[in-house]
Amino acid sequence: MYPCVTVDLEKLGHNVRSLKRLCGQYGIEILGITKVFGGELPIASVLVENGLHMLGDSRIENIKKYRALPCEKWLIRMPGVSEARETVRYCDVSLNSELQTLKALDREAKRQKKIHKAVLMADLGDLREGCIEESDLAECAEFARQAEGLELYGLGTNLTCFSFVQPDQEKLSRLVQLARKYGAGTYVSGGNSATIQLMLQGGIPEGVNSLRLGEALLFGRERSGYQYLPGMYNDAFCVEAEVIECKEKPSMPFGTIGRDSYGKRPEFTDRGWRMRAICAMGRQDVDPETMWPEDEGIEIVGASSDHFVVDITDAARRYEVGDCIRFRLGYFAAMRAFTSRYVKKKYVGGIHERYLAGRFNYIYAGYRENSGLQHAGKGSGAAYPPGNGASGI
């Protein structure tokens, strides 16, 4: 059934090992972020199997899926007061910036007879989460140090996710300074995949020892300059969609052009008559702006909620109704695909092969019956065309 996402777990494992080795050269430990794939156990297992000791997600529901894995679980979106009970139950660590939430976590941790680890967040200019006033941070740090149910575990910041303020040496030096001042230096988290470029330039100050990485791990791409990292695969996540219409049509619509769903008036270029195909998926399932056809002669024209239009005039082969077109996925396209219940998921290679051989049953116990997981043996993944493999390998 289509559309269907295929995840190559062997390529993903290679990416994890490569990035872990690279970050290790700079004294950086990776917190692997699982929200892109909704915490699905086969993928989370690959991250742990290949050396990651910490996994994080913004939703407790996703963390529950891999609660049996031998790793530290981080809730990377600040919990609500109403989530205190489940946060303490399922998460070892949470990011925080509100005293009221810390008090709720402390109460719940004492009730559950646990010690919950709190990482405080400092806002260094991106204006999303975090304490922007030092007095606010000081109050939270003092409470976390004194609370019976909490451990002040570290200090972090978030950049490039909201206002797209870039990380730099000055900002991260300020983070280290604050962490040392308030005794929060166990884990000093210097941001996400956008900090990798600064790391490679030698610009991360001593004291920053952790990064929260999702896009770089899964897609081999850093987020500051949006460059692919050498020696890492960018095609571990692909989607196939079925062609449901294939016709030659004019490239210029005829009639009065109105506004789209975002209130904008679209513009078109007249390229004459072109051969177009419609695939049975849409913006409800994927993000057209962050995915690329494996057939480089195909051009994405656009998409509505459930129709995906491509220009196949210059395609490397002839496509007909009933054929499938394969696309390489980026961050947001993969996130939508894993969120959509209309997109099937298939795993090939890596830990999945060993599971089929009867190993890792402790990880998968009770999971297969509830997941709808499709099993694929060796050779079931499509061959990758030249140019779509790991760069620099």
Q: How many residues does the chain have?
A: 393
Q: How far apart are CA 372 and CA 281, in angstroms?
A: 20
The single residue of 11, 20, 35, 73 carrying the catalytic annotation is 35
Q: How far apart are CA 232 and CA 211, in angstroms?
A: 18
Cβ atoms of 121 and 97 within 8 Å: the answer is: yes
DSSP single-letter state for residue 331: H
Cβ atoms of 198 and 347 within 8 Å: the answer is: no
Strand partners, 387: none
Hey, how many other C-beta atoms are within 10 angstroms of the C-beta on 352? 26
At residue 182's C-alpha, the angle toward residues 180 and 184, to 5°, is: 70
Cβ atoms of 225 and 46 within 8 Å: the answer is: no
Query: Does residue 70 have a cis bond before it (omega within 30 degrees)?
Result: no
Q: How far apart are CA 363 and CA 71, in angstroms?
A: 12
Per the annotation, the verdict on 35 as an active-site residue is: yes
Exposure string (b/e) for 282-307, b if CB count within 10 Å is 16 or more?
A: bbebbbbebbbbbbeebbbbebeeee
Cβ atoms of 108 and 118 within 8 Å: the answer is: no
Residues taking part in catalysis: 35
